[in-house]
Amino acid sequence: MTTFPNRRLLMLPGPTNVPDRIANAMIRPMINHRSETFTALLRDMTEKSKQLFQTGDDVVILTASGTGGVEAAVWNLVRPGDRVVVPVMGEFSTRLAEAIELAGGETVRVTAEAGTVPSIEQIEEAVRKTAGLKAVFMVHNETSTGCAVPYLEEVGRLASDAGAFFAVDAVSSLGGYAIPVDKWGIDICVTGSQKCLAAPPGLTLLSISKRAAEYIRKSPPKVRYFDLARQLEFLAHGETPFTPAVSLYYALDEALDWLIEEGLEKRVERHALHARTFYSVIAGMDLNGVAAEGVRSNTVIAVLYPHGVDDKVFRKKLSDEHDIVVGGGVGSLKGRSFRIGSMGDVSSAHVHRTTAAMALTLNKMGHPVDLQTIGGILDRAS
Amino acid sequence: MTTFPNRRLLMLPGPTNVPDRIANAMIRPMINHRSETFTALLRDMTEKSKQLFQTGDDVVILTASGTGGVEAAVWNLVRPGDRVVVPVMGEFSTRLAEAIELAGGETVRVTAEAGTVPSIEQIEEAVRKTAGLKAVFMVHNETSTGCAVPYLEEVGRLASDAGAFFAVDAVSSLGGYAIPVDKWGIDICVTGSQKCLAAPPGLTLLSISKRAAEYIRKSPPKVRYFDLARQLEFLAHGETPFTPAVSLYYALDEALDWLIEEGLEKRVERHALHARTFYSVIAGMDLNGVAAEGVRSNTVIAVLYPHGVDDKVFRKKLSDEHDIVVGGGVGSLKGRSFRIGSMGDVSSAHVHRTTAAMALTLNKMGHPVDLQTIGGILDRAS
């Protein structure tokens, strides 16, 4: 028997806080996934998802994590020997490059140091120099460093000019950013249920362009569960090929309703506003962000610890004394940084509570924070 | 906005009825999947799952459907060119053979007509004749025809003697049958959350023998999300490599508690008892089962329609007039049969309600059923 703590404020880069209306949707009665009711639900969810991706093409929902969704994109577009340009600037873009190589692709990695992203010129050069380029695969928001690339649209153009596919991992960003996939020429864009959508984890959503769909149908992948041609074939009849996680569909349905009530534009503004406040707060606390100016993420705020503040102690105090959970560092940043997920249900109240807990904890741990200054920052932000 | 019907009795071969205690567990507060709380939960669930599989080895829980779990078994044990013996006797065993071929395996199919299973002698012959046999993959309970193979233990011995792996798809049977994987020499056994465990769909459980684990570690598969070596590596530290469907873990945790409270032996007896009653009832209604005597499933009762009874009308009447959902036929049996899922939370009350609805509906549809006879059968069964 596992003992569960009090409900904590999850300021994590996923899973994020799940509002009651979304969590409670999970206990709707179980239904047959081969029924008119499920078909109506799936069709409705698909239409709402299209608004999120701003696409007139199809959106497929898979029972898997975001990493599963990204791997599905890889297996469906990459065949052994295919050349793929992939910017690498942290843990999740490294995972992406590895997944492409596992599937038999040859990657042309365009690397950047943690905290930065490659320049568009570097990517352009890689695209130009790669003969027979099959695809550009790109992480939009590198969750491990809190960096978001500002030039998806330009990469879409480069890929299109090169006759290559363009796939984007927007797992931790879509909804916190607007990514109009049709306009920007994104063939497959992947996101997850547990980030800016504020639903529980376990579902991944993929937009699929007509061009990509046609290719996959003609050249189906070797994987079955993640075969997007099969998914699209069943979706056309309002079904999923395999038993979906019905309860999570209920929750995501409710989460999509909330998104549409709020409006995508307002949701993006809300994420941008709270991220700006967090960046002002960390500056006011004399802390350094991991991400360079100009590529700082709207959804993941990665912060370097000041000298003498221990990662484990800091996060344990935040959790035990303030019931707030932030993420640890990843990869080379492990122990040297923490990450605030500011996504999904995030509000001023969340920002204030997190800021207060950070300030009090840092003060206790020997990194002085002037509460007056921080109060002023929060006051000006609201 | 999707309109949901009243809560219906799901007599489906999955998803099955989810008891309130299991459904309600899903709304426990969301937690960090990188936390002591999640680790405690995962360790506890793993131990309970080991009792289900009767194994001292590891059990991995993946966020995916049962088909996803079976595909994971395939990619982890089969390499291009490997020879695999696979009995084929319906839709799900065909899917299994196809998944093996997609992964590059060469299948030696041992086929049997729908409603029967290959004889153990046929399988023995295939195993003996296949030089360099890598594995035997087998569906235990063919959900499309309601046939269960009665000789898993013997096949385990044959595979072991041939130095081959033995993998079993027990998605729709484990819990309704006892399958002691260590004793029977099963290297990977796969089941799903939404069948005999009565949890919502979306999770699949795989037992992995030491021998299989060692092989996979030395020769990791090309798939990442389903890489069992990676899963085992993280499990050793009480984690999952990718974000798990936390809410579904909560539900499965509660479902495993219920399993252990009831006891595996009693759960198997309960499934056998209700299946026997259903088979007596269909005989009493002058209906024919799909499955041959001796291989009739404890969990899926497939029934051939009598002359003149239309599949769609029959199932619609059951649903609209009695709020009972049964499954349709699959593959060559589509339109000619229906399938009663008798698994998970199934009780005498469910059997009685389903039987009454079937009897009244068949009477209305021109296939006379003697209610006195049926009442007698139910009376003797209880």
Preceding omega of A15 cis (within 30 degrees of 0): yes
Report A:112-141 residues touching B (Cβ under 8 A).
Answer: none
Start-end of H helices in chain A: 20-25, 36-53, 66-77, 91-102, 120-129, 152-161, 210-218, 228-235, 246-262, 264-284, 311-322, 348-364, 371-381
- What is residue B5's predicted lDDT score, i.e. its pLDDT? 74
Determine which helix (DSSP H) or strand (DSSP E) holds B301, and give its type and residue range.
strand B300-304
- What is residue B367's predicted lDDT score, i.e. its pLDDT? 97
| Order of strands, sheet of A324-328, starting from the edge strand that comes earlier in the sequence | A9-11, A324-328, A337-341, A300-304, A288-289
Q: What is the pTM of this model?
A: 0.97
> Radius of gyration of chain A from Cα atoms?
21
CA distance A253 to A52: 12
Query: Which of A20, A26, A231, A252 is the mutation pick for testing B, counting most B CBs within 10 A?
Result: A26
Are A318 and A382 within 8 A, CB to CB?
no
Cβ of A325 within 8 Å of Cβ of B248? The answer is no
Are B262 and B255 within 8 A, CB to CB?
no
Low-confidence ranges of chain B (pLDDT < 70): 1
Tens digits of residue pLDDT in B134-174: 999 999 999 999 999 999 999 999 999 999 999 999 999 99
Whether the CA torsion B18, A239, A184, A110 is positive or negative: it is positive
Structure tokens at B356: 């009454």
Report A:199-218 residues touching B (Cβ under 8 A).
Answer: 200-202
Cβ of B243 within 8 Å of Cβ of A192? The answer is yes
Q: Provide the residue-wise pLDDT of chain A in tens; the chain has 382 residues.
A: 677 777 899 999 989 999 999 999 999 999 999 999 999 999 999 999 999 999 999 999 999 999 999 999 999 999 999 999 999 999 999 999 999 999 999 999 999 999 999 999 999 999 999 999 999 999 999 999 999 999 999 999 999 999 999 999 999 999 999 999 999 999 999 999 999 999 999 999 999 999 999 999 999 999 999 999 999 999 999 999 999 999 999 999 999 999 999 999 999 999 999 999 999 999 999 999 999 999 999 999 999 999 999 999 999 999 999 999 999 999 889 999 999 999 999 999 999 999 999 999 999 999 999 999 999 999 999 7
The string of DSSP letters for A159-176 reads: HHHTT-EEEEE-TTTBTT
Are A282 and B231 within 8 A, CB to CB?
no
Chain B residue with the nearest C-alpha to that of A7: B29
**In this structure, what are the phi and psi dihedrals at residue A365, rounded to the nearest 5 degrees?**
-95, 15
Query: How many helices and strands in chain A, by DSSP H and E?
Result: 13, 14
CA distance A7 to A234: 39
In one-letter notation, the amino acid at residue A309 is: V
Tens digits of residue pLDDT in B222-264: 999 999 999 999 999 999 999 999 999 999 999 999 999 999 9
Name every chain A residue with its beta carbon within 8 A of the beta carbon of B194.
243
Instruction: Identify the residue whose tokens are 């796969």.
Output: B190
At CB < 8 A and 24+ separation, what contacts does A237-241 make? Answer: A237/A39, A238/A38, A238/A39, A238/A40, A238/A42, A238/A43, A239/A33, A239/A34, A239/A38, A239/A39, A239/A42, A240/A33, A240/A42, A240/A61, A241/B67
Contacts of A131 (CB under 8 A, 6+ apart): A83
Nearest to B338 by CA among B311, B318, B358: B311
Give yes or no for B40 touching A (CB within 8 A): yes
Cα-to-chain-centroid distance, residue A355: 23
Whether the CA torsion B326, B327, B328, B329 is positive or negative: it is negative
Give yes or no for B357 touching A (CB within 8 A): no
Domains of chain B: 9-13+264-381 (3.90.1150.10), 20-262 (3.40.640.10)
- When CB atoms are compared, the residue of A31, A202, A327 closest to B202 is A202
Are A40 and A34 within 8 A, CB to CB?
no
- What is residue A295's predicted lDDT score, i.e. its pLDDT? 98
- What is residue B1's predicted lDDT score, i.e. its pLDDT? 64
| Order of strands, sheet of B83-88, starting from the edge strand that comes earlier in the sequence | B58-63, B203-208, B188-192, B165-169, B133-139, B83-88, B106-111
Alpha carbon of A310 to those of A145, A306, A316, A340, B34: distances in Å?
19, 9, 10, 16, 18
CA distance B127 to B161: 10
What does the DSSP 8-state code read for residue B106?
E
Give yes or no for B21 touching A (CB within 8 A): no
> Radius of gyration of chain B from Cα atoms?
21
